[in-house]
Amino acid sequence: MKTVSPVTLVPINRWMQGENSLKEDLLAVEEPLQIKLQFGQGDHWQEKALAVTMRTPGHDFELAIGFLLAENIIHGPEDIQLIRYCKKVKDEEKGNVLIVKLSPSVKVDLTLLDRHFFTHSSCGVCGKSAIEAITCEDKALVQDFSKVKTSLLKRLNQMLMKEQTVFKYTGGIHASALFRTNGELLFLREDVGRHNAFDKVVGAAFQQKLLPLSDGLMMLSGRVSFELIQKAIRARIPIIAAVGAPSSLAVSLAKEKGITLIGFLKNDRFNIYSGKERVEMEES
């Protein structure tokens, strides 16, 4: 199987202080990943090309698992029988096509997935064909939760930056990191797509049977969209903190479903948009 690196060197012309020079620059790789789904029972198995997403190679199985969980296709680790890269593909597609075989007990109704499953790396629900298809029917999170201290929140940005390996070298990649409210880092994943990074982290937690995580906190390197809140609800992660701003729809959904949403998180300040009861205020 071809190994695909998350970074690549490209030749550039660098203009600096009036002089031009030939250099090399390290970039984050962006390549398509096709996710195929195999499902059925006995002698009646179907295979469907479910999605193509532009992603940074690495942790592809986690990405696929997180995506399937977010789309409500799977609910537990026992729903997946096998996941592997497809072998019978063109040379340029090797390492970029994988198939997930579901357990025979999983019932799949693809007519409910009213979505054109082609997404680019920054895309969220842009493939949905109607606004009705993006409603979130999951139950609100219960209020039995662990609180996060403001002293930890103020450190999260530095903790995230410290672990962002690819970002240090390229400056062009997003990150999602799952912490416990005591500050323990569980998983961090990077990707050119915000949604992909989130799915990779959820996929990793799913594989380790850590979901739902009542004391979970997801830290994001960018802004917060509606679909990222939707993914958090599906994974039952109660706290979302982000360096960037949330959208109005993200805030509305967070309030409706009992998610604590924190934005513009810096070393010395942050905004709480919903769920302030999960934040333990401390004196500076």
Sequence-separated (6 or more) residues with CB below 8 Å from residue 265: 153, 156, 157, 219, 241, 242, 243
Q: Over 60: is that where the pLDDT of 115 sits?
A: no
**Lookup: tokens for 255:** 């309030």
- Average pLDDT rounded to a whole number, residues 20-36: 93
pLDDT at residue number 189? 97
Name the least confident of 29-33, 131-135, 165-169: 131-135
The pair of structure tokens assigned to 115 is 């979505």
Measured in whole angstroms, how far is the alpha carbon of residue 80 from the centre of its chain?
A: 19
Per-residue pLDDT at 114 exceeds 70:
no
The confidence band for 167, taking pLDDT boundaries of 50, 70 and 90, is confident
Range with the lowest mean pLDDT among 10-14, 162-166, 214-218?
162-166
pLDDT band at 119 (very low <50, low <70, confident <90, very high): low
H helices present in the chain, as ranges: 60-70, 150-163, 165-170, 194-207, 226-235, 248-257
- Which one, of 214, 197, 220, 233, lies nearest residue 270 by Cα? 220
The type of residue at 235 is A
Q: Which pLDDT score, from 0 to 100, does residue 183 have?
A: 96
pLDDT value at position 135? Answer: 60
Q: What is the pLDDT of residues 213-272, one digit of tens each?
A: 999 999 999 999 999 999 999 999 999 999 999 999 999 999 999 999 999 999 889 999
Burial 248-258, CB ≥16 within 10 A → b, else e: eebbebbeebb
Residue 3 above 90 pLDDT?
no
- Distance (Å, rounded) from C-alpha 30 to C-alpha 284? 42
- In three state form, how does the secondary structure of 48-117 look? EEEEEEEECCCCHHHHHHHHHHHCCCCCCHHHEEEEEECCCCCHHHCCCEEEEEECCCCCCCHHHCCECC
pLDDT classification of 112: cutoffs 50, 70, 90? low
From CA 162, how far away is CA 149, in angstroms rounded?
20
User: Are the C-beta atoms of residues 220 and 246 closer than 8 Å to each other?
Assistant: no
pLDDT at 205: 98
What is the average per-residue pLDDT within 1-24? 85
* Selected residue with higher pLDDT from 124 and 166: 166
- Backbone angles phi and psi of 213, in degrees to 5: -120, 95
d(CA 57, CA 210): 24
What was the pLDDT predicted at 120? Answer: 52
Q: How far apart are CA 185 and CA 160, in angstroms?
A: 9
Average pLDDT, integer, range 30-53: 90
For 184, the token pair is 């323990």
Whether 126 shows a pLDDT value over 60: the answer reads: no
The structure tokens listed for 113 are: 């997935």
- 40 Cβ contact list (under 8 Å, min separation 6): 46, 104
| Sheet bearing 80-85, strands edge to edge | 80-85, 97-102, 31-41, 44-55, 118-119
- Determine the distance from the C-alpha atom of residue 128 to the mean position of all C-alpha atoms in its chain, rounded to a whole number: 18
Using alpha carbons, select from 103, 108, 101, 119 the residue that is nearest to residue 34. Answer: 119
pLDDT at 65 exceeding the cut of 70? yes
Q: Would the pLDDT of 197 be above 80?
A: yes
Q: Is 7 helix (H, G, I), strand (E, B) or coil?
A: strand
Whether the pLDDT of residue 146 is over 90: the answer is no
pLDDT recorded at residue 138: 83
Catalytic residue annotation: 123
**pLDDT of the residue at 121:** 54
What average pLDDT does the structure give for the chain?
88
pLDDT tier for residue 133 given thresholds of 50, 70 and 90: very low
